[in-house]
Amino acid sequence: MEEGPVSIELEPAAPGSGKWTGALLEVRDLSVTFQSDDGPVHAVSSISFDLEDNETLGIVGESGSGKSVTSMAILGLLPRQAMVTGSVKLRGRELVGLSDRAMQPVRGKSVAMVFQDALTALNPVYTVGNQIGEAIKVHDDVSDQELRDRVRNLLEIVGIPNPAERADQYPHEYSGGMRQRAMIAMSIANEPEVLIADEPTTALDVTIQAQVLEVLERIQDRTKSSIILITHDLGVVAGVADRVLVMYAGRQVELATVDELFYNPRHPYARGLLASLPRVDGRRDARLNRIIGQPPSLIAIPSGCAFHPRCNDAKLPSPCQTDRPELREIAVGHLSACHFAEDLPKLSTSDLAADESSEDGSVG
Amino acid sequence: MRTEGNIGGVEPSPLGSPVGAEPMSTLSIAEPEPVPRSQWQLFRRRFLRHRLAVAGGLVLILLIVVCFGAKYFAFYDKNQQNLLLGPTSPSKEHWMGTDEIGRDTMTEILYAGQISLKIGLAVALVSTVVGTVIGAMAGYFGRFMDQLLMRFTDLFLVVPAIAVLAIAIKFFHDTPFDQTTVIIFVLAGLGWMYIARVVRGQVLSLKEKEFVEAARASGASSARIIFRHILPNCIGPILVNATLSIAAAIVTESTLSFLGFGVQPPATSWGNMLSAAEGNYNQNTHLLYFPGIMILLTVLCVNFFGDGLRDGFDPQAKH
Amino acid sequence: MLTYAARRVLYSIPVILVASFLLFAAVRATFDPTARLAQSRDPQVQQRERERLGLTDPILVQYGDWLKGAVHGDLGQSSASREDVSAMISRSMGNTLQLIVIGALVSAVIAIGIGVYSAVRQYSALDYVFTGLSYIGVAMPPFWFGLLAIEFFVVQHRWLLSVGLHTGDSTSFDLDYVKHLVLPVATLCVQIIASWSRYERASMLDALSADYVRTARAKGVPRRKVILKHALRNALIPFVTVVALDFGALFGGLIITENIFAIGGMGRLFYNAILVGDVYVVQAWMIIVAVFIIMFNLLADLIYGVLDPRIRLS
Name the residue among B4, B158, B161 with its Cβ closest to that of C138.
B4
Which residues from B are below 8 Å from C245, CB to CB? 2, 157
Closest CB from C211, C223, C225 relative to A100: C223
State whether residue C16 sits within 8 Å of chain A by CB. Answer: no
Q: What pLDDT does residue B207 have?
A: 82
Range B90-128 burial, b when 16+ CB lie within 10 A, else e: eeeebebbbbeebbbbbbbbbbbbbbbbbbbbbbbebbb
Cβ contact (<8 Å) for C222 and A173?
Answer: no
Q: Considering only CB atoms, which chain C residues are within 8 Å of B251?
A: 139, 141
Cβ-in-10-Å burial (0-12, 13-18, 19+) of B314 comes to middle
pLDDT of residue A4: 42
Query: Smallest Cα–Cα separation from A182: which of A230, A117, A103?
Result: A117
β-bridge partners, C44: none
The predicted model gives C79-87 an average pLDDT of: 83
Calculate how close chain C gets to A78, using CA atoms only, in Å. 9
**Residues A256-272: tens digit of each pLDDT:** 999 988 888 888 888 88
Give the one of A123, A124, A139 whose C-beta lies nearest to C220's C-beta: A139
Q: What's the confidence (pLDDT) of residue B233?
A: 83
CA separation, residue A105 to residues A51, A75, A100, A132 (Å)? 20, 11, 10, 16
Facing C141 at nearest CB: one of B8, B168, B254: B254
Residue type, C271: Y
Q: For the sheet with A226-231, list strands across it.
A: A111-114, A194-198, A226-231, A56-60, A243-248, A251-257, A334-336, A328-331
A77 at C interface, C-beta within 8 A: yes
For residues B288 and B280, the answer to whether their CB atoms sit within 8 Å is yes
User: What value does the mean pLDDT take over residues A55-67?
Assistant: 88
Residue A40 has pLDDT above 60, yes or no: yes
Model pLDDT for residues A111-137, shown as the tens digit of each residue = 999 988 888 899 999 999 999 999 999
User: Which pLDDT score, from 0 to 100, does residue C314 have?
Assistant: 66
B26 vs chain C: nearest CA distance in angstroms?
A: 29
Give the Cα separation of C24 and C67 in Å (integer).
10
Q: What is the ipTM of this complex?
A: 0.85
Across the interface, whether the CB atoms of B158 and C290 are under 8 A apart is answered: yes
* A293 chain-B contacts, CB cut-off 8 A: 26-28
* pLDDT category of residue B210 using cuts at 50, 70 and 90: confident
Q: Exposure of B258 by Cβ count < 10 A (0-12 exposed, 13-18 middle, 19+ buried)? A: buried
Closest CA to B183 of B198, B197, B169, B200: B169
pLDDT confidence of residue A347: 66
Q: Do A170 and C220 touch (CB under 8 A)?
A: no
Q: What angle do CA A261, A266, A269 make, to 5 degrees?
A: 90
pLDDT band at B285; cut points 50, 70, 90: confident
What residues in B contact A296, CB-CB < 8 Å? Answer: 24, 26, 28, 31
What residues 254-293 of chain A have any CB closer than 8 A to a CB of chain B?
Answer: 292-293
Do B23 and A310 make contact, defined as CB atoms within 8 angstroms? no
- Antiparallel, parallel or unpaired: β A243-248 and A226-231: unpaired
B219 touching A, CB under 8 A? Answer: no
- Segment 17-76 of chain B within 8 Å of chain A by CB: 17-29, 31-34
- Which of C215, C220, C310 minimises the CB distance to A122? C215
- Out of A280-284, B27-31, B239-243, C74-78, pick the least confident: B27-31
Rounded average pLDDT over A161-186? 91
SS3 content of chain B, % helix, strand, coil (to 5): 65, 0, 35
Inter-chain touch B15–A34, beta carbons under 8 Å: yes
| A69: nearest CB among B14, B19, B27 | B19
| Angle between helix B235-259 and helix C247-260 axes, rounded to 10 deg | 30
What distance in Å separates the CA atoms of residue C194 and residue B5, rounded to the nearest whole number? 10
User: Any alpha helices (H) in A158-204, and if so which ranges?
Assistant: 163-166, 176-187
Q: What is the pLDDT of residue B3?
A: 38
Overall average pLDDT of the C40-53 stretch: 75
| Residues in chain B within 8 Å Cβ distance of C155 | 281-282
- Directed axis angle between helix B270-277 and helix B235-259, to 10°? 30
Please give, rounded to a whole number of angstroms, the shortest distance from the CA of C34 to a CA of chain A.
57
Q: Please, are residues A44 and A229 in contact by the beta-carbon 8 Å criterion?
A: no
Which residue of C191, C209, C293 is in closest CB contact with B16? C209
Tell me which of A353 and C266 has the higher pLDDT.
C266
Chain B residues whose CB is inside 8 A of the A202 CB are none
User: Which residue does chain C place closest to B246, by CA atoms?
Assistant: C139
How far does the CA of residue A264 sit from the closest CA of chain C (Å)? Answer: 36
Average per-residue pLDDT in chain B? 79
User: Mean per-residue pLDDT for C250-258?
Assistant: 91
Report, in this order, helix, strand and coil percent for chain A, each rounded to 5: 30, 20, 50
Per cent of chain B over pLDDT 90 is 15
Q: What are chain A's partners, defined as 3 or more CB pairs within 8 angstroms?
A: B, C
Provide the 3-class DSSP secondary structure of residue A38: coil
| Cis peptide bond N-terminal to A317, omega within 30 | yes
Check if A316 contacts B (Cβ < 8 Å). no
